[in-house]
Amino acid sequence: MTETRATFGYTDVDPAEKPRLVRGVFDRVASRYDLMNDLMSAGVHRAWKDMTAARLNPQPGERIIDCAGGTGDISKRLAKLSRQAKARRGGEDAEILVVDYNAEMVGVGRDRVTDPEIAWAVGDAQRLPLPDACADAYVIAFGIRNVTDVSVALVEARRVLKPGGRFLCLEFSQPPAKALRAAYDAYSFNVIPAVGEFVAKDRESYQYLVESIRRFPSQDRFADMITQAGFKRAGYTNFSGGVAALHHGWAL
């Protein structure tokens, strides 16, 4: 069923309009995106990404899709781990394809990350420019909440994975503990937009990013959506008390 409305922060918009609005956000923040991630999370996002890459456990010769991979923060970790695995086991280089809807983000990534295992493409998570069953693993980090129709993106992820392929999604989430949730809300709404205004000269974009986190489904609801998309053994691991969560599923 086609969605009649899409979320853009706390605003409901025409689904046809959301890609343009999201593209505008990331056009504006691309050059300072990594710096802002460090400031907003006090650097903790690096540990979350390290754990995500380790959980994916890239192996020699695998083809891995880093969807909404932006500036290559996840892919450079995967490339390093795949080289380490190759040194131990031998075999072919892994192939890591970053696919991101935003050309500005891809441009920043190409300039900053030069690992030979990594290729770059501009593409839509809901219509990946890839054949069926072509990848061994798919990862999306802090990107799926910006997609117009999350369910469609999950089905597309399942389509491009080989039998036995693994799906990982790192995303901001909802701390189960009320005290932590209240503290996180206070920090998110009072500090992050202000930092965005001071550092990136763009309060509006970071207000949207905070609001988009609050509109994203809970951990359990999102795990159900992963199952409904055709994955098996869906589950998640909370990071930092549920501020972020790493979701997983298998293409079985």
The residues, ordered by sequence, that sit 6+ positions from 200 with a Cβ below 8 Å of its Cβ are 28, 29, 32, 36, 206
Q: Are 113 and 75 in contact (CB under 8 A)?
A: yes
Q: pLDDT value at position 1?
A: 44
What are the domain boundaries of the chain? Answer: 6-251
| Tens of pLDDT, residues 97-142 | 999 999 999 999 999 999 999 999 999 999 999 999 999 999 999 9
Token pair listed for 236: 């998640």
- In one letter, which amino acid is 126? Q
Of the candidates 37, 52, 46, the one whose C-alpha atom is nearest the C-alpha of residue 247 is: 52
| Tens of pLDDT, residues 161-206 | 999 999 999 999 999 999 999 999 999 999 989 988 988 788 998 8
Element (H, E) at 76: helix 73-89
Q: Rounded to whole angstroms, how far apart are CA atoms 45 and 236?
A: 17
Phi, psi dihedrals of residue 156, rounded to the nearest 5°: -65, -40
pTM confidence score: 0.93
Estimate the crossing angle of helix 219-228 against helix 150-160, to 10 degrees.
50
The fold for domain 6-251 equals Rossmann fold (3.40.50)
pLDDT above 60 (res 150): yes
Tokens 């295992």 locate to 117
